[in-house]
Amino acid sequence: MEVLVASAVGILTATGLYLVLRLRTFPVIMGMSLLTYAVNVFLFASGRLTIGAPPILADDATLYTDPLPQALVLTAIVISFAMTAVVVMIALGAYLGTNDDHVDDPIVNDEEDAP
């Protein structure tokens, strides 16, 4: 299971970074989403992997999993969802306004710019 989780985090991070480096809004936002999935899985792993154990006190439980990473992940998911929504709206506004979906600065031609 460690191999599965580790490779999941690795593959998600790698694809996410690749998409972020595409520098156009749609791939970049997709890449950001993949990165946040990667970090959520990683946060789960930071509390050690346990299968089928509850994070809260229960009468019939003999084994518990660490509850703190779950709380962290919950907060992180909420924040990253909201942030993705914000960036989609701003990117949409910028795209509709300039008819250009590049994320990086446009190259300014010095010759034309000079007075």
Among 70, 94, 111, 112, binds other proteins (CB under 8 A): 94
End-to-end Cα separation, the chain, in angstroms: 65
Helices (H), the chain: 2-20, 25-46, 67-98, 110-113
Q: Is 102 in a helix, a strand, or coil?
A: strand
Asked if 45 is part of the footprint of other proteins (rule: CB under 8 A), the reply reads yes
Among 2, 59, 60, 104, binds other proteins (CB under 8 A): 104
8 or 91, CB closer to other proteins? 91
Among 91, 107, 109, 111, binds other proteins (CB under 8 A): 91
Among 21, 72, 13, 15, CA closest to 38: 13
Asked if 52 is part of the footprint of other proteins (rule: CB under 8 A), the reply reads no
Asked if 8 is part of the footprint of other proteins (rule: CB under 8 A), the reply reads no
Q: Is 44 in a helix, a strand, or coil?
A: helix
- Cα dist from 8 to 2, 91, 101, 109, whole Å: 10, 28, 30, 44
Asked if 65 is part of the footprint of other proteins (rule: CB under 8 A), the reply reads no
Instruction: Name the site residues for other proteins (rule: CB under 8 A).
Output: 20, 25, 28-29, 32, 35-36, 39, 42-43, 45-48, 68-69, 72, 75-76, 79-80, 82-83, 86-87, 90-91, 93-94, 97-98, 100, 103-105, 113, 115
